[in-house]
Amino acid sequence: MRISAVIPILGAFIGFLVVYVSSYTVPPTWASYLSLATLAGVDSICGGVRAGLEGKFHDDIFLTGFAMNTLLAGFLAYLGDRIGVDLFLAAVVLLGGRVFLNLSLIRRYWLNQSQMASRRKEAASS
């Protein structure tokens, strides 16, 4: 039941630990692009969870979306720096907004489900 929600978080934690203890780092000039890629990844995960809750989850869309969004976000920010347009900010605003939107929708679905479950329990007891 609730434990299944913990598994992805556990996965994220394990991935975090594995990379954190390894000595691998990227050049500092890439730092901002990497941060943006991370944000795009968060956005993809939230989008995936939301799609799953809505019952519209497609694994191909999810997998390609994660890969493409992450790479594209970094690449667009790099391109923006090159041509002198701050695409970095645009990406941050857009992705950040989407993360918040998805999170609020997930919260709503989750609340709905728990309310329905408690109502069903009441109906069964009465």
Partner 1 sequence: MSVFSSQIRHKPWGTQITVLSAILGGLLALSLKTQDRIRGEQMPSLRPNQFASAYSQLRDDVVDQKKTIADLQNRLNKYQQAAAAESGNAKLLSTDLQRANLMAGLVAVSGQGVVVTLRDSKKAPPRPNEMAPEDYIAMTRNYIIHSEDIQAVINELRAAGAEAIAVNDQRVVATTAIRCVGPVVQVNSIPTNGSPVKIKAIGDPDMLVSAMTMASGVQDQYKVTDPTMFSIDKSKGMTLPAFAGAQPIRFATPAQDKSAELAQRQSESSASSTDPNASMGGQSTMGTNNVTH
Q: What angle do CA 46, 103, 100 make, to 5 degrees?
A: 100
Q: What is the closest distance, in whole angstroms, from the C-beta atom of residue 25 to partner 1 in the complex?
A: 5
How do the residues of the chain divide into helix, strand and coil, expressed in percent and rounded to 5? Answer: 85, 0, 15
Toward partner 1, which CB reaches closer, 14 or 79? Answer: 14
Toward partner 1, which CB reaches closer, 23 or 125? Answer: 23
Closest among 29, 22, 104, 102 to 69, alpha carbons compared: 102
Binding site for partner 1 (CB under 8 A): 1-2, 4-5, 7-20, 24-26, 28-32, 34-35, 37-38, 41-42, 44-45, 48-49, 52-55, 57, 59, 62-63, 66, 70, 81, 110, 113, 117
Toward partner 1, which CB reaches closer, 20 or 124? Answer: 20
Asked whether the beta carbons of 87 and 80 are under 8 A apart, the reply is: yes
